């Protein structure tokens, strides 16, 4: 700066923009632009390349007397730079490049300098303007002032090919195995500004052999030009396939990739499915036709089913009949019905098959048919046993009942119109029954017969069952004999060997009473009479009841000391010498003679009088 001669500087000042002001003694103030930032201009450069004059440096000087601090920004880099321009390092004297993740600020010592390296790499064709922004904390006391350095450069398209595939994938969907799909195309274009050099175009990936390509691309594609890649798919087995078109070139992102997918499916073919695969008609009465049953013929295949014929075949084909609504062709995914009936003519088992001749795999398709012919439903009547024989039965009494079973082993209900007893001896028999008027198939009922003879003779009759079964009436023979009633009676026996009883002594006899004609249920009272004076007889017990077993009583004969024989006594005298010494004695035997009227015994005590005949004599 200049000042008048004799003048001198009196003051120096720095404003917020970094401008320096100097005042002289004469009042003159002059501005010095020390802080005006430089600007950087770069040579025209192809897009994607770096300019030939890169990098260029910006020097940052600290003309102060204290360190200059570059703070860490919370939202961006310090310094920051526009897109298309790149910050770099120019060696050991480079300024600090701070990011939001930096841990300490940058520092520039007093009276020192650092440099910022800048390069130009255009991302688009045309003029590119930007800037570097540097923030510090010490410019004239203003907090975090920003220094801005303008940047300019021009991007050009010279020498920049591009490769673009459209579409980037092809899907061939379902293709029949053994065939080739319709072709599909991919366009390769070069929207760049220089020729695209192609070094390879091929199919790569897992199933490369199942995809094929042809193309019009050659080895070079001019800027702004395009070519076509034609692709086909040829699966050999059913399943999913994948591969890729791969293009190797001199464009960015080489190789370029387009994905290829497809699915191999089996050739269209019909199928024939019968459901169910068998019909069982069960029991059918001969001479009649069963209810119909159906079989569904379906075609789940992918082509029409041609039906050459639907017939009944097998050993009993004539006993089964079929009708159907299938016609000569059955479309894929559709179904029809075969209706079958069974007509047996005799009792027995029958079998045959439905046969469908068609153009599907496994033809002819078959379904088994079975059925059984049975006789018409009819009841049966069977009596068991076919004869009832009663034991001899006392006239006027009844024998225990005997039972005959009436069963129906047929296959229809048995109608019973009557159950009676007939024959010459019918009056001696009576019956009761549980049979009612109807007996279901396989059911059984009872006929109970009682025999009550009215006289001593033989009786014969029969049970007669009138019903709707073959062979009616059905009979069971009855027989029995009446016998006269037996009069209850008993017999008496006693020991009758002679005994000698001295005066003052006694002797005993065992009296046995046995029932006759089965039993004697009444009590028999025993007593004795006709004994001579001085002789007594007593029974123990005095009353017995033989019933069904023999009973006994003991007869005790006692001779008193006062006994003496008389001329009228039925005893003889004997010579003492013949019988030995001793006192007088009675020698006698006992004959028992019961007296009672023989008649049917009522439950009353029977008095039996026993007469004792003493045979013997007095010994003197």
* DSSP for 487-515, written as a single string: PPEEEEEE----EEEETT-EEEEEEEEEE
Q: Are strands 226-233 and 9-14 parallel, antiparallel or unpaired?
A: unpaired
Q: What is the pLDDT of residues 311-336, one digit of tens each?
A: 999 999 999 999 999 999 999 999 99
- Which helix (H) or strand (E) element contains residue 577? helix 576-579
DSSP-assigned letter for residue 579: H
**302-316, 467-481, 484-498: range with lowest mean pLDDT:** 484-498
User: What kind of fold does domain 164-265 have according to CATH?
Assistant: Immunoglobulin-like (2.60.40)
Closest CA relative to residue 130, chosen from 155, 108, 109: 155
Q: What is the pLDDT of residue 386?
A: 96
Provide mean pLDDT across the span 382-393.
96
Digit-coded pLDDT (tens) for 410-427:
989 999 999 999 999 999
Average pLDDT over residues 362-383: 95
Lowest mean pLDDT among 26-35, 369-378, 522-531, 588-597: 588-597
Residue 374 banded pLDDT, cuts 50, 70, 90: very high
Q: Could you tell me what percentage of the chain is helix, strand and coil, using 3-state DSSP and rounding each to the nearest 5?
A: 0, 50, 45
Residue range 550-570: mean pLDDT, rounded: 74
Residue 567 has pLDDT above 70, yes or no: no
- pLDDT at 12 exceeding the cut of 80: no
pLDDT score of 614 more than 50: no
617 pLDDT higher than 50? no
| Residue 151's pLDDT band (cuts 50, 70, 90) | confident
pLDDT score for 103: 72
Comparison of pLDDT for 433 and 599, the residue scoring more? 433
pLDDT score, position 134? 74
Q: What percent of the chain lies above the pLDDT cut of 70?
A: 81
| Segment 197-233, tens digit of pLDDT | 999 999 999 999 999 999 999 999 999 999 999 999 9
pLDDT at 422: 96
Residue 14 has pLDDT above 80, yes or no: no
- Structural contact between residues 137 and 143, judged by C-beta atoms closer than 8 angstroms: yes
- Please determine, looking at this structure, whether the domain spanning 273-374 carries the CATH number 2.60.40.10: yes
**pLDDT of amino acid 619:** 32
pLDDT at 37: 62
Which fold, 40-156?
Answer: Immunoglobulin-like (2.60.40)
- Taking phi first (over 0 means left), then psi (-120 to 50 degrees means alpha), and beta for anything else, what does residue 552 get? beta
| pLDDT number for residue 513 | 85
pLDDT higher than 70, residue 376? yes
User: What are the Cα distances from residue 77, in Å, to 101, 105, 428?
Assistant: 9, 12, 137
- Return the beta strands (E) in 136-209 as ranges: 146-156, 164-166, 169-176, 184-189, 196-204
Domain map (residue ranges) of the chain: 1-36, 40-156, 164-265, 273-374, 382-483, 489-619
Which strands sit side by side in the sheet containing 9-14, from one edge to the other?
9-14, 20-24, 29-32
Reported as a pLDDT band with limits 50, 70 and 90, residue 616 is very low
Q: Which residues of 440-469 are buried (b: 16+ CB within 10 A; e: fewer)?
A: eeeeebebebbbbbeeeeebebbbbbebeb
Chain segment 486-516, per-residue pLDDT in tens: 776 778 887 666 778 888 998 888 888 888 7
Q: Are 504 and 544 in contact (CB under 8 A)?
A: no
273-374 matches 164-265 in CATH topology: yes
> Quick one: pLDDT at residue 157?
62
- The more confident residue out of 111 and 612 is 111
For residue 16, the model assigns a pLDDT of 52
Query: What is the average per-residue pLDDT within 240-254?
Result: 95
What residues contact residue 194 under an 8 Å CB cut-off, 6+ apart? 157, 158, 159, 160, 161, 223
**20 phi-psi bin (left φ>0, alpha ψ -120 to 50, beta other):** beta
Domain at 382-483, CATH homologous superfamily: Immunoglobulins (2.60.40.10)
Average pLDDT over every residue of 437-449: 96
User: What is the predicted pLDDT for the residue at 595?
Assistant: 37
43-57, 163-177, 329-343, 588-602: least confident range: 588-602
Q: Band the pLDDT of 597: cuts 50, 70, 90.
A: very low
Mean pLDDT over the full length of the chain = 83
Determine the Cα–Cα distance for residues 543 and 523; give it in Å rounded to an integer. 6
**What CA–CA distance (Å, rounded) separates 314 from 309?**
15
Question: Quick one: pLDDT at residue 577?
Answer: 37
Q: Which of 392, 520, 540 has the alpha carbon at shortest distance from 453?
A: 392
The pLDDT value given to residue 451:
96
pLDDT band, residue 4 (cuts 50/70/90): low
């Amino acid at each position: 700066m200049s000042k008048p001669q004799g003048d001198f500087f009196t003051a120096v000042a720095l404003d917020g923009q970094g401008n320096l002001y100097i005042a002289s003694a004469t009042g003159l103030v002059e501005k010095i632009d020390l802080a005006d930032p430089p600007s950087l201009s770069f040579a025209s450069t192809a897009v994607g390349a770096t300019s030939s004059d890169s990098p260029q440096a910006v020097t940052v000087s600290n003309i102060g007397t204290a360190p200059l601090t570059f703070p860490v920004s919370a939202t961006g880099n310090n310094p920051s730079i526009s897109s298309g321009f790149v910050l770099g390092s120019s060696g050991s004297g480079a300024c600090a490049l701070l990011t939001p993740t930096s841990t300490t600020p940058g520092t520039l010592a007093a009276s020192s300098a650092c440099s910022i390296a800048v390069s130009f790499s255009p991302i688009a064709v045309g003029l590119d303007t930007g800037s570097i922004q540097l923030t510090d904390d010490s410019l004239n006391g203003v907090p975090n002032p920003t220094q801005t350095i303008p940047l300019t450069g021009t991007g050009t398209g010279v020498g920049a090919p591009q490769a673009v595939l459209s579409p980037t994938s092809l899907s061939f969907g379902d293709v029949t195995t053994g065939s080739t799909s319709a072709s599909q195309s991919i366009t390769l274009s070069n929207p760049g500004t220089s020729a695209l050099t192609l070094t390879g175009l091929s199919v790569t990936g897992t199933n490369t052999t199942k995809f094929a390509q042809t193309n019009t691309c050659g080895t070079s594609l001019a800027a702004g030009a395009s070519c076509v890649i034609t692709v086909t798919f040829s699966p050999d087995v059913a399943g999913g396939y994948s591969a890729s078109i791969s293009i190797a070139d001199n464009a960015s992102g080489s190789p370029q990739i387009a994905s290829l997918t497809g699915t191999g499916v089996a050739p269209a073919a019909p199928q024939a499915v019968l459901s169910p695969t068998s019909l069982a008609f069960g029991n059918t009465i001969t001479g009649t036709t069963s209810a119909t049953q159906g079989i569904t013929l379906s075609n789940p295949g992918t082509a029409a089913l041609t039906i050459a014929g639907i017939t009944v075949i097998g050993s009993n084909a004539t006993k089964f009949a079929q009708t159907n609504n299938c016609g000569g062709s059955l479309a894929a995914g559709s179904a029809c019905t075969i209706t079958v009936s069974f007509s047996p003519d005799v009792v027995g088992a029958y079998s045959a098959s439905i046969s469908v001749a068609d153009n599907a795999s496994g033809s002819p398709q078959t379904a088994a048919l079975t059925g059984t012919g049975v006789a018409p439903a009819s009841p049966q009547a069977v009596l068991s046993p076919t004869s009832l024989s009663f034991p001899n039965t006392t006239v006027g009494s009844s024998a225990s009942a005997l039972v005959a079973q009436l069963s129906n082993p047929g296959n229809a209900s048995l109608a019973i119109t009557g159950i009676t007893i007939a024959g010459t001896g019918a009056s001696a028999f009576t019956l009761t029954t549980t049979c009612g008027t109807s007996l279901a198939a396989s059911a059984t009922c009872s006929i109970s017969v009682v025999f009550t003879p009215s006289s001593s003779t033989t009786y014969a009759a029969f049970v007669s069952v009138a019903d709707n079964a073959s062979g009616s009436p059905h009979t069971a023979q009855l027989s029995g004999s009446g016998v006269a009633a037996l009069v209850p009676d008993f017999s008496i026996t006693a020991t009758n060997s002679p005994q000698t009883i001295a005066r003052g002594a006694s002797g005993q006899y065992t009296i046995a009473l046995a029932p006759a004609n089965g039993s004697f249920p009444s009590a028999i009272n025993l007593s004795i009479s006709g004994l001579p004076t001085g002789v007594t007889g007593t029974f123990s017990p005095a009353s017995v009841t033989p019933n069904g077993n023999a009973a006994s009583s003991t007869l005790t004969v006692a001779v008193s000391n006062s006994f003496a024989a008389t001329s009228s006594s039925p005893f003889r005298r004997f010579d003492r010498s013949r019988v030995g010494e001793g006192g007088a004695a009675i020698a006698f035997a006992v004959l028992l003679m019961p007296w009672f009227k023989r008649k049917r015994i009522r439950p009353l005590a029977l008095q039996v009088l026993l007469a004792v005949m003493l045979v013997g004599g007095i010994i003197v």
